[in-house]
Amino acid sequence: MQKKEDNIKQQIWQCVASVPKGKVVSYGRVARDCGYPSHARYVGTVLKQLPSDTTIPWHRVINGKGEIAFPEGTERYLEQRRRLENEGVVLNASGKLKLTEYEP
């Protein structure tokens, strides 16, 4: 039997999974769309826990400034950028992305 709190993760997964290919959203945006406006940080925590073979497009989630959440040059940063470029999303000259709106 699952507790209520576990549903938060499930909803976050659901929200991230609903992000269309080629679009990117912020952690805060995901949290709000899930119905948890103050759980932006938790979104990141959940993504961190995802297994490497997950089908969830965690790489489409970035911070509110339009940047990848990791310091540039780290393995994680590079991997996320690689995954994005693989889907046609490319960073601009400032190393940023354009946050896109989408209708759930």
Partner DNA sequence: GTTGTGACTACCA
Partner DNA sequence: ATGGTAGCCACAA
Residues 45-84: x where in contact with DNA by CB under 7 A, - otherwise, as a string: x-xx-x-------xx-x-xxx---xx-----x---x----
Output the smallest distance, CB 56 to DNA, in A: 9
| Binding flag, residue 91, DNA (CB under 7 A) | no
Q: Which of the 8 DSSP states describes residue 88?
A: T
Rounded to an integer, what distance in angstroms lies between the CA atom of residue 90 and that of residue 28? Answer: 21
Three-class SS state of 62: strand
Instruction: Give one word for 88, left, alpha or beta, with left for phi > 0 and alpha for psi -120 to 50.
Output: left
Q: Which residues bind DNA (CB under 7 A)?
A: 5-6, 8-9, 26-29, 38-45, 47-48, 50, 58-59, 61, 63-65, 69-70, 76, 80
